[in-house]
Amino acid sequence: MSVHTDTELFNRFRQGNEAAFREIYHLFYSRVYYFAQRYVSEADAEDVAAETFFKIWTRRKEFEDISHLSSSMFVFTRNHCLSLISRLQMQEKRKQELLLLMESEQQDFTLEPVRSELVKLLYTQLGQLPERTRNVFLLSFQEGLKPAQIAERLGVSVKTVKNQKVTAIKLLKDALSGHSLELVLLTLLHLDKFGNS
């Protein structure tokens, strides 16, 4: 294409002539498309090329001549590719985070019926304990307080707290003896927050 023809084509394009835009599209498409393929897949390269030509059309009055238009195409194409790669990486990261979250929640959902039933049984039995014994157990179970902290909170001796804790555990074990959740309870009662000294 001659300089004269290039200039004429560019001027018509810059003035908004759609036929001139189609000529430029056919003239540059393959170069833009294969350039995009250096960075992204074939399918994505097609989308990138489409975005590039849409951008040059909407910004056509910003270009000085056909040479400026041509160089800008490749800058736009590269930027679109980099933006796409960034989005894909972010999507993959979010996908992996979501999968991890779903797996974690699935595990929690599997245990939730057991936890719910155990908590329900515990609180039912706790309601039948003497008030001081119940308070000691709840402060240890719910707040994870040590005997000295519980003693200070309730205004009793550390020895009293330890005795009440032992009593609470024994009564709860007796109440759930033979129940299907007894093993779960026994496991929990060996955790530090129940047995801390």
Query: What pLDDT, on the 0 to 100 scale, is given for residue 134?
Result: 82
Query: What pLDDT, on the 0 to 100 scale, is given for residue 195?
Result: 44
Given a contact cutoff of 8 angstroms between Cβ atoms, the answer to whether 56 and 72 are in contact is yes
Query: What pLDDT, on the 0 to 100 scale, is given for residue 191?
Result: 43
Query: What pLDDT, on the 0 to 100 scale, is given for residue 26?
Result: 93
Please state which CATH class domain 127-195 belongs to: mainly alpha
Q: Which CATH architecture has domain 3-92?
A: Orthogonal Bundle (1.10)
Chain segment 139-149, per-residue pLDDT in tens: 877 667 888 88
Query: What pLDDT, on the 0 to 100 scale, is given for residue 80?
Result: 92
Q: Tokens at residue 55, please?
A: 């951008």
What is the model's pTM? 0.46
Query: What pLDDT, on the 0 to 100 scale, is given for residue 98?
Result: 63
Show the low-confidence residues of the chain (pLDDT under 50).
1-4, 108-109, 190-195, 197
- List the domain boundaries for the chain: 3-92, 127-195
